[in-house]
Structure 1
Amino acid sequence: MAGINEAEARTAFDRFDANGDGFITATEYKSAMAQLGDHFVTETMAQAIIDERDLDGDRLLSFEEFWTYLNR
């Protein structure tokens, strides 16, 4: 994502991390996408998206993994 700085990325991440634990789950991802108007994202799809970006295999998305993905 060109032109996004770390503070903007943190704001976006925090919108998805509904419980504030520092990780985005498939449930949180699906919910955030629905709030943004995309009601077609299923939990299975959300988990697949997270798994694609998950570097440590815990099936969660940390801010570091999110930031790494944005800067690839």
Structure 2
Amino acid sequence: MADIEKAREQFARFDGDGDGLVTADEFKRAMAEMGDPFVTGPIAESVINSKDADGDGRMSFDEFWKTLQG
């Protein structure tokens, strides 16, 4: 089981505007800042969509946390 506080820190790295939701653009930017310039827009959208349980096009912390649980 993941540590929720560490997960919150990781999530915050992706949540560029601090609104509690990660968009594909925020994900792409964060990955580039962490040294992975190969995450393109379509790849970022695919990653976010794969974790987006409610279909709003963004990943919430709860959705992120669920992916870490299993």
Task: Compute the displacement of 1:43 (Å).
Answer: 1.2
Separation in 1 of the partners of 2:20 and 2:57? 13
TM-score normalised over the length of structure 2: 0.96
Structure 1: runs of 5 or more not aligned: none
Q: Which runs of 4+ in 1 moved over 2 A?
A: none
Instruction: Give the aligned partner of residue 24 of structure 1.
Output: 22
Task: Compute the displacement of 1:4 (Å).
Answer: 2.8
Instruction: Give the aligned partner of residue 9 of structure 1.
Output: 7
Instruction: Give the aligned partner of residue 44 of structure 1.
Output: 42
**Corresponding pairs, count:** 70
Q: Which secondary structure state, in structure 1, belongs to the residue aligned with residue 50 of structure 2?
A: helix
| Root mean square deviation of aligned Cα | 0.8
User: Does the 8 A contact of 2:51 with 2:67 survive in 1?
Assistant: yes
Structure 2: runs of 5 or more not aligned: none
Task: Compute the displacement of 1:8 (Å).
Answer: 0.2
TM-score normalised over the length of structure 1: 0.93
Percent identity, aligned pairs only, is 47
